[in-house]
Structure 1
Amino acid sequence: MGQKVLFFGDAGIDDAVALTYAYLSEEIDIVGVVADYGNVSREQTIANVQYLAKVFNFPSEVKIIGGAEVPMTGEQPIFYPEVHGVYGLGPIEPETNSGVIENFFEIVNIIEEYQGELIIVNAGRLTSLATMFILYQSLMKKVKAYYIMGGAFWVPGNVTAVSEANFHADPIAVRIVLQYAENVTIIPLNVTDRALVTPEMVNYIDYKGKAPIIKPVLDFYYNFYKSRNPGIVGSPVHDAITLLASIREDMFTYRTLPVHIVLQDGDTARGQSIADVRPYIQFGEQEKKHRIAFDFDYNYFFRDFMSVMTGETFR
Structure 2
Amino acid sequence: MKKKILLFADVGIDDIAALIYANLSEDIQLVGVVADYGNVPRERAIQTANYLLTFVPEGKKFPIIGGAEIPMTAKEPTFYPEIHGEYGMGPIIPDVLVDKYENFFEIVTIIKKFGKDLTIVSIGRLTSLATMYVLYPDLMGTVKDTYVMGGAFWVPGNVTAVSEANFYSDPVAARVVMNYGENVTIIPLNVTDYAIVTPQMVDYIDSKGLTELFKPMLDYYYVFYKERNPDIQGSPVHDAITLMAPLYEDMFTFKELPVFVGTTEGRVDQGQSITDIRPYIKFENNAKKHRIAFGFDYKKFYNRFMTVMTGETFE
TM-score class, shorter: over 0.9
Instruction: Return the alpha-carbon distance in structure 1 between the equivalents of residues 54 and 40 of structure 2.
Output: 20
* RMSD (Å), alpha carbons: 1.2
Letter in 1 for 2:287: E
1:121 aligns with 2:118: no
Change (3 A) 1:167 1:286: same
> 1:159-308, aligned counterparts within 5 Å?
159-308=159-308
Check conservation: 2:51, 2:94, Cα contact below 8 A: yes
> 1:85-96, aligned counterparts within 5 Å?
85-95=85-95
Instruction: Return the alpha-carbon distance in structure 2 between the equivalents of residues 170 and 58 of structure 1.
Output: 35
Deviates more, 1:80-89 or 1:17-26: 80-89
Instruction: Return the alpha-carbon distance in structure 2 between the equivalents of residues 239 and 72 of structure 1.
Output: 22
| Structure 2 residue aligned with 1:101 | 101
Deviates more, 1:53-62 or 1:262-271: 53-62
Instruction: Return the alpha-carbon distance in structure 1 between the equivalents of residues 58 and 130 of structure 2.
Output: 27
Instruction: Return the alpha-carbon distance in structure 1 between the equivalents of residues 18 and 163 of structure 2.
Output: 23
Instruction: Return the alpha-carbon distance in structure 2 between the equivalents of residues 297 and 277 of structure 1.
Output: 21
Deviations 1:79-126 (A, max 9, x none): 111111122110001245426310000000000000001000000000
| Structure 2 residue aligned with 1:66 | 66
Deviations 1:54-80 (A, max 9, x none): 123354761100000000000010011
Instruction: Return the alpha-carbon distance in structure 2 between the equivalents of residues 278 and 204 of structure 1.
Output: 43
Partner secondary structure for residue 293 of structure 1:
strand
Partner secondary structure for residue 254 of structure 1:
strand
| Structure 1 residue aligned with 2:312 | 312
Partner secondary structure for residue 314 of structure 1:
coil
Check conservation: 2:30, 2:60, Cα contact below 8 A: no
| Structure 1 residue aligned with 2:79 | 79
Change (3 A) 1:81 1:267: same
Shift, 1:23, TM fit: 0.6
**Matched residue count:** 315
Check conservation: 1:47, 1:95, Cα contact below 8 A: no
Change (3 A) 1:182 1:197: same
Partner secondary structure for residue 194 of structure 2:
coil
Partner secondary structure for residue 242 of structure 1:
helix
Instruction: Return the alpha-carbon distance in structure 1 between the equivalents of residues 283 and 193 of structure 2.
Output: 31
Instruction: Return the alpha-carbon distance in structure 1 between the equivalents of residues 21 and 282 of structure 2.
Output: 42
Instruction: Return the alpha-carbon distance in structure 1 between the equivalents of residues 237 and 214 of structure 2.
Output: 11
Change (3 A) 1:60 1:241: closer
Check conservation: 2:53, 2:61, Cα contact below 8 A: no
Check conservation: 2:43, 2:99, Cα contact below 8 A: no
Change (3 A) 1:172 1:99: closer
Instruction: Return the alpha-carbon distance in structure 2 between the equivalents of residues 57 and 47 of structure 1.
Output: 18
Letter in 2 for 1:62: F
Check conservation: 2:167, 2:271, Cα contact below 8 A: yes
Gaps (5+ residues) in structure 1?
none
Partner secondary structure for residue 116 of structure 2:
coil
| Structure 2 residue aligned with 1:54 | 54
Instruction: Return the alpha-carbon distance in structure 1 between the equivalents of residues 168 and 221 of structure 2.
Output: 21
Change (3 A) 1:233 1:60: closer
Change (3 A) 1:106 1:195: same
Gaps (5+ residues) in structure 2?
none
| Structure 1 residue aligned with 2:24 | 24
Instruction: Return the alpha-carbon distance in structure 2 between the equivalents of residues 290 and 189 of structure 1.
Output: 16
Deviates more, 1:86-95 or 1:100-109: 86-95
